[in-house]
């Protein structure tokens, strides 16, 4: 059974920064957001590496309202079709 710690910071406008830590040498940082208000959230930014590297990258990641913040959706889960 894998053991890890998850944490997140929710920004306004549906943007969320997330952190998953499995060990000091195995961490993942992500930012998710929406293309437009009705769309499902998509992946805006992702980085994997050691904990120090990922925390540092999250700390220097521009706030979502800054003009140089990542906005291009890199990937999104497909919408579930129900009959």
Query: What is the tens place of the pLDDT at every residue in 22-81?
Result: 999 999 999 999 877 777 788 999 999 999 999 999 999 999 999 999 887 776 656 666
More confident residue, 78 or 7: 7
| Angstrom distance (rounded) from CA 10 to CA 83 | 33
Q: How many CB atoms lie within 10 A of CB 80?
A: 6
CA 30 to chain centre: 2
Output the pTM of the full model: 0.81
48 Cβ contact partners less than 8 Å away, ≥ 6 residues apart:
27, 28, 29, 54
The pLDDT value recorded for residue 59 is 95
In order, the DSSP letters of 33-68 are: E-SSTTSPPEEEEEEEE-HHHHHHHHHHSPPTTSTT
């Amino acid at each position: 059974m894998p053991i890890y710690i998850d944490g997140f910071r929710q920004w306004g406008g549906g943007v969320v920064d997330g952190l998953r830590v499995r060990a000091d040498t195995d961490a993942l940082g992500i930012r998710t957001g929406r293309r437009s208000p009705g769309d499902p959230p998509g992946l805006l930014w992702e980085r994997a590496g050691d904990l120090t590297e990922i925390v540092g990258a999250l700390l220097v990641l521009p706030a979502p309202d800054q003009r140089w913040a990542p906005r291009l959706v890199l990937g999104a889960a497909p919408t579930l079709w129900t009959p």
